[in-house]
Amino acid sequence: MKKKALFAVAALMVSISAFAQQDANTEAPKWTYKMSGFIDPQFWMDTREVVSAREEQMLFYPAPKKLDADGNDINAQPSNNALAITARIGLKINAPDALNAKIFGYLEGDFTGATNDGINMLRLRHAYLNMRWQKSNLLLGQYWHPMVAHEVMPGTRPLNMGIPFHPYSRYVQARYTQYFGSLELSGIAAFQLDNKSVGPDGGSTAYLRNSCLPELNAQLCFRGEKLYLGAMVNYVLLQPRTFTTDADGKKYKTDTKIGSTAVSVFGKLNVSELSIRFQGIYGDNLTEQGLMGGYIESGLQDDNTFKYSNFGTTTFWVDLGRTKGVCRPGLFAGFGRNNNFGDDINADDKIFGRGIDIDNVWRIQPRVGFYPTDYLNFFGEVEYTNATYGKKIEDGGKYHYESDYNVGNYRFIVAAVFNF
């Protein structure tokens, strides 16, 4: 009996070993994970008050003059600050192929918060899955807004990343790209979350949701060995109100909407160790992208509806920078103009947007980066931004702005970056 038992156990062990060897020789689908991110404390000083977000780290332009009783500018007040909220962590997950496509997912967050009240709290930046076929690609999830041409983003270090000249926002979206050799044709349907449109109830995603149409974008790009060029058109439809209220307090359902269009050209040229990047934008109601613009709501009409009209902006920026070596200098320059500056506005109109009283804004921003290693970098930048504000001129129940004065701000920035 003992011999039979030993023989049975030996046979079982041989069988298990054989099955294990068979499993070892069979390659299972592989999942791989790669974590990345950085820590980048930034220190800066401004020479005056600024229009900004996130504890002034995201700078738009200098604040207008604010005169006291003696004619002194209260906003001519220097200040300094330091933050590390842009520290970032990301995770890329490569999955086995499915549906004949290469699959990966990406999660990324930082600590800037979705609003100023959320600073130092983990905030979702990117969260998407990507499916790549031989001649097409599908991205689903939260990613850069399609107006942000991620291939040609400025090389600046501060959080504002070139706003109010370069758009800066992320939307949940479905982005499909078809490849035709060197040409890439993309169609995107996008939905708001952190970067909301503004309207009668403040910042809200409801204006886009109530229109029952996602923000739509189409773009065509050429990708060469050293040259990348693209053009896009963007359309957003908003419904600011679902009802109106007359002078007697009676409510009336409304579905009045406003549509806004923007076009953009962008590109990048790599020559030896130099990268040249640019983008030009002409469009309406781009306030949620960090640019000037918005829309105007005229007074209540006889049919208990409001009329809407856009005000827009033209922006252009260029960025030059060295891409290799220990010392990497660079330069960013941008210009933005209010396309409707000087237009008449009714006294009872409501303005939803940014920069209606500004004629133009421009910025010059030289920088230098020191790269002793891939994982440890140091940066220094000087950012000068100048805005031309208008003086309000009233005339017979209407008003408009005329160029009145320029005001500028110097921002001095130093940063250390630890990449991992």
Q: Please give the average per-residue pLDDT across 135-160, as a whole number.
A: 95
Q: Considering the domain boundaries, does residue 43 fall inside one?
A: no
The confidence score (pLDDT) of residue 19 equals 42
Amino acid at 383: E
Amino acid at 34: K
Q: Kind and range of the H or E element at 58?
A: strand 58-62
Q: Considering the domain boundaries, does residue 400 fall inside one?
A: yes
The confidence score (pLDDT) of residue 28 equals 67
The answer on pLDDT for 91 being more than 80 is yes
| C-alpha to C-alpha distance for 401 and 360, rounded to whole angstroms | 12
The answer on pLDDT for 142 being more than 50 is yes
The answer on pLDDT for 14 being more than 90 is no
Q: Which residue has the higher pLDDT, 302 or 196?
A: 196
Q: Considering the domain boundaries, does residue 175 fall inside one?
A: yes
Average pLDDT, the chain: 93
The confidence score (pLDDT) of residue 390 equals 98
For the ranges 19-28, 114-123, 177-186, 193-202, which has the lowest average pLDDT?
19-28
With 0-12 / 13-18 / 19 or more C-beta atoms within 10 angstroms meaning exposed / middle / buried, residue 96 is exposed
Residue carrying structure tokens 């909220």:
85
- The DSSP code for 73 is B
The answer on pLDDT for 1 being more than 90 is no
Q: Considering the domain boundaries, does residue 230 fall inside one?
A: yes
The answer on pLDDT for 3 being more than 70 is no
User: How far is the first Cα of the chain from the last one, in angstroms, to the nearest whole number?
Assistant: 63
Q: Please give the average per-residue pLDDT across 154-165, as a whole number.
A: 93
The confidence score (pLDDT) of residue 116 equals 81
Q: Which of 59, 83, 250, 257 is nearest to 163 (CA)?
A: 59
Q: Considering the domain boundaries, does residue 153 fall inside one?
A: yes
Asked if 145 and 190 touch (Cβ cutoff 8 Å), the reply is yes
Question: How far from 61 is each of 57, 165, 299, 384, 407, CA to CA, in Å?
Answer: 12, 11, 30, 9, 9
Q: Encode burial over 43-63: b for 16+ CB neighbours within 10 A, e otherwise.
A: ebebbbbbbbbbbbbbbbbbb
- How many structural domains is the chain composed of? 1
The confidence score (pLDDT) of residue 24 equals 45
Each residue's pLDDT tens digit, 244-254: 999 888 999 99
The answer on pLDDT for 2 being more than 50 is no
Range of the domain at 286: 131-419
Q: Residue 356 region, left (φ>0) first, then alpha (ψ -120 to 50), else beta?
A: alpha
Q: Considering the domain boundaries, does residue 143 fall inside one?
A: yes
Q: Considering the domain boundaries, does residue 85 fall inside one?
A: no
- The DSSP code for 357 is T
Question: How far from 160 is each of 61, 269, 282, 383, CA to CA, in Å?
Answer: 11, 23, 20, 11
List, in sequence order, every residue forming a beta bridge with 265; answer none if it has no partner: 231, 280
Provide the 3-class DSSP secondary structure of residue 24: helix
Paired tokens of 248: 């007697």
Paired tokens of 108: 């990324």
The answer on pLDDT for 408 being more than 70 is yes
The answer on pLDDT for 73 being more than 90 is yes
Residue carrying structure tokens 């086995």:
96
Quick check: pTM over 0.85? yes
- The DSSP code for 152 is G
Q: Which of 331, 341, 378 is nearest to 361 (CA)?
A: 341
pLDDT classification of 60: cutoffs 50, 70, 90: very high
Asked if 200 and 227 touch (Cβ cutoff 8 Å), the reply is no
Asked if 172 and 141 touch (Cβ cutoff 8 Å), the reply is yes
The confidence score (pLDDT) of residue 16 equals 39
The confidence score (pLDDT) of residue 247 equals 85
The confidence score (pLDDT) of residue 299 equals 85
Half-sphere exposure of 139 (CA within 13 A, CB side): 21
List, in sequence order, every residue forming a beta bridge with 184; answer none if it has no partner: 179, 221
Amino acid at 364: I
Helices (H) and strands (E) in the chain, counts: 2, 27
| C-alpha to C-alpha distance for 81 and 41, rounded to whole angstroms | 11
The confidence score (pLDDT) of residue 27 equals 61
| C-alpha to C-alpha distance for 230 and 153, rounded to whole angstroms | 13
pLDDT classification of 181: cutoffs 50, 70, 90: very high
The CATH number assigned to the domain holding 264 equals: 2.40.160
* Residue-by-residue DSSP string for 269-311: EEETTEEEEEEEEEEE--GGGTSSEEEEEPPP-TTS---EEEE
Q: Considering the domain boundaries, does residue 402 fall inside one?
A: yes
Paired tokens of 215: 């923000």
Each residue's pLDDT tens digit, 300-358: 888 889 999 999 999 999 999 999 999 999 999 999 999 999 999 999 999 999 999 99
Q: Encode burial over 135-168: b for 16+ CB neighbours within 10 A, e otherwise.
A: eebebbbbbbbbbbbeebbbbbbbbbbbbbbbbb
